[in-house]
Structure 1
Amino acid sequence: MSAATALRIQSATCEAAFIARCAVEALRLELDTYPKPGLVSLVDSGSHDDMDAATFKASAAALEPYFCELAEAGARGLGMDGLRRIGLAAEAAMLAATGGVNTHRGAIFGLGLLASAAGALGAGVSSIRPGALGAHVARTHAQGILNGPVLLHAPGARARRRHGVGGAPAEAAAGFPTVYRIGLPALRHRLALRPDDPEAARVEACFALIAATEDTNLLHRGGPDGLAFARRAAAAFLARGGVGQPDWRQAAESAHRDFVARRLSPGGAADLLAMTVFVARHEHAGRPRALPLGHAGTGPSGKPASC
């Protein structure tokens, strides 16, 4: 093997490792964010009795090598069938780490596709143009996503069939429009106004995503009425100024309590928030390490999120 070839292999491996750490960092920052209505955080378990912050941390740690595989697969141009095999292995690792609890199935799908796109576009070493990750997923994998196998017994799949919504597959096949049109603008707007408080920016993005998304997790738990309630509550928080209102934290905590009382959990919005953080990290004017998204930036091994 020539020195140049060895260097290229080492560089590709380094890029994939960095992309994987960014994916896990996005999951950890989503967990760190509070208040998020009905969702698990470091503060409490939201509307869930079967999982807590420790469950999420164990799951995120178990997924890092699979995000690395997905980034490497993207760099090799692997098709949707190959990515799906890695995703299923990641799901098995998640279930083993959590004792059978589904913490991150939706994130494995969406964030996994974005990690693959990041590997394909070389996003581990430099920033890429806005919209590139989602556009790559739509251009390369849309048909494979929409024509793929249906998980008949998964709650999200049942909700999609029962209520006639597109859910995560439609979002991914279209290039993640909710991330780009809703999540990123909300996150970046608040980061620009309050660069010293990235958690507040993530809370704003979370509420914006809840207000805009036909979340199959909400449909599964609360039906159309539960979804409508959640979207109205999130929209009302934003209409009052979001995290720009003086008592925003109390208002967000009040919404959180209302969701918990109704056992509502917008898990789809949580997945989209993690994807938003990941995309913001890479589609940024400067090296992907530069954007101030928060401070959960050490990998499960304790190494900094760099290569």
Structure 2
Amino acid sequence: MNATVGLAARRPDAVAPDGGEIAARLRGLGRAAVVALYDELALAPKPGLVSFVDSGSHGDMNAQTFLRSLFALRHCFPRLAHLGAAGAAFSALETEGIAAEARMLLATRGVNTHRGAIFCLGLLCASAGAVLARGDRLGADALRQTLIADWGDALSARAHRAGPTPARTAHGIAAAQRFGLRSAGPEAALAFPVLFETTLPALRGALRRGAAERQARLQALFETIAVLDDTNLAHRGGLAGLRHAQRPAQGFLAAGGVFRAVGLADAEAVHADFVARRLSPGGAADMLAAACWVQRVCGMR
């Protein structure tokens, strides 16, 4: 896909790429995205997902693969934040995202570790850059409103784009079309409702209840698995696999989630079940990383 890079002229003096206070803050937004992806990697037990403990349901990657990917992506998120601050057209964001995917695949020897995260966190970094360029305070509402106002039409058009499916996104889109699910593209066009209405409130709610960061992130992950149309699960296990994954997540939450002495042990049992069935909720993992990023950067002006 050859997208044309272009910058809109809405805010020509919004950011000085070679220095300045706002440029430093934009770099901070991007670095926070890499830290958030590390937060997700370090969490365990995560049902079917890679961590420092094991490779979950994946035979082609481990934690070291993810670390190589994170190192390769360390510059892409700051670039996307700068593009957002400069009023970039969606084509510019898409071009940077495709270049980031290429760097990821080179670092991982062809293994897809963070394609969905590049898309989600990249858009959020761009949206945050636009918010900061206006001098506004970062918050969930500002991020969503900016995402829709600046790139909503382009995201909607992308979600309904006709023609052959790009090979790099074929599996998730094919699963969504086959089973009538809402994939990452339509989710983004709606300004990530699951992230902002389920994952982030779950993370913040658990922290307010006194949960440690590990438990709060685990609670948020399970609440996300329980409701998300995760095309990674559908690709691996069909609609039956997706629904099977949602049931134990819902059961875990109904029993009290992480707010029990046996919470971590129950999460470990769900993890073992996912591994046995080769199920991996990669979409939910992306939402968790995004929630960790929002939690970290919100309040920045």
TM-score (norm 2): 0.88
Deviations 1:242-278 (A, max 9, x none): 0001111100000000000000000000011111111
Tell me the residue number matched to 2:9.
none
Deviations 1:72-103 (A, max 9, x none): 00000001111000000000000011000000
Give the Cα–Cα distance (whole angstroms) in 1 for the partners of residues 224 and 282 of structure 2.
11
| Aligned residue identity for 2:270 | A
| Aligned residue identity for 2:81 | A
Q: 1:258 aligns with which of 254, 273, 289?
A: 273
Give the Cα–Cα distance (whole angstroms) in 1 for the partners of residues 182 and 146 of structure 2.
20
Cα distance, 1:184 vs. partner? 1.1
Cα distance, 1:141 vs. partner? 1.2
Cα distance, 1:11 vs. partner? 1.9
| Aligned residue identity for 1:167 | S
Give the Cα–Cα distance (whole angstroms) in 2 for the partners of residues 250 and 17 of structure 1.
39
Q: 1:151 aligns with which of 161, 165, 190?
A: 165
Per mean C-alpha deviation after superposition, the further-off stretch among 11-20 and 93-102 is 11-20
Tell me the residue number matched to 1:166.
182
Aligned positions, number:
281
Q: Any idea what SS the aligned residue of 1:64 has?
A: coil
2:125 is the counterpart of 1:109 = no
Deviations 1:27-53 (A, max 9, x none): 000001111100011111000000110
Per mean C-alpha deviation after superposition, the further-off stretch among 154-163 and 204-213 is 154-163
Structure 2: unaligned runs, 5 residues or longer = 1-14
Q: 1:81 aligns with which of 82, 91, 96?
A: 91
Q: 1:211 aligns with which of 226, 239, 254?
A: 226
Give the Cα–Cα distance (whole angstroms) in 2 for the partners of residues 110 and 101 of structure 1.
18
Q: Any idea what SS the aligned residue of 1:243 has?
A: coil
Could you say what the CA RMSD is over the residues aligned between the two structures, in angstroms?
A: 2.1
Q: CA, structure 1 residues 56+7, in 2 after alignment: closer, same or farther (shift >3 Å)?
A: closer
Deviations 1:210-249 (A, max 9, x none): 0010100000000011001100110000001000011111
| Aligned residue identity for 1:134 | R
Tell me the residue number matched to 1:182.
198
Give the Cα–Cα distance (whole angstroms) in 2 for the partners of residues 170 and 67 of structure 1.
21
Q: CA, structure 1 residues 67+247, in 2 after alignment: closer, same or farther (shift >3 Å)?
A: same
2:295 is the counterpart of 1:283 = no
Contact 1:23/1:67 (CA < 8 Å) preserved in 2? yes
2:86 is the counterpart of 1:72 = no
Tell me the residue number matched to 2:147.
137
Give the Cα–Cα distance (whole angstroms) in 2 for the partners of residues 106 and 6 of structure 1.
29
Per mean C-alpha deviation after superposition, the further-off stretch among 222-231 and 162-171 is 162-171
Contact 2:29/2:125 (CA < 8 Å) preserved in 1? yes
Give the Cα–Cα distance (whole angstroms) in 1 for the partners of residues 280 and 137 of structure 2.
33
Give the Cα–Cα distance (whole angstroms) in 2 for the partners of residues 235 and 66 of structure 1.
35
Q: CA, structure 1 residues 235+75, in 2 after alignment: closer, same or farther (shift >3 Å)?
A: same
| Aligned residue identity for 2:294 | V
Give the Cα–Cα distance (whole angstroms) in 2 for the partners of residues 94 and 193 of structure 1.
37
Contact 2:16/2:23 (CA < 8 Å) preserved in 1? no
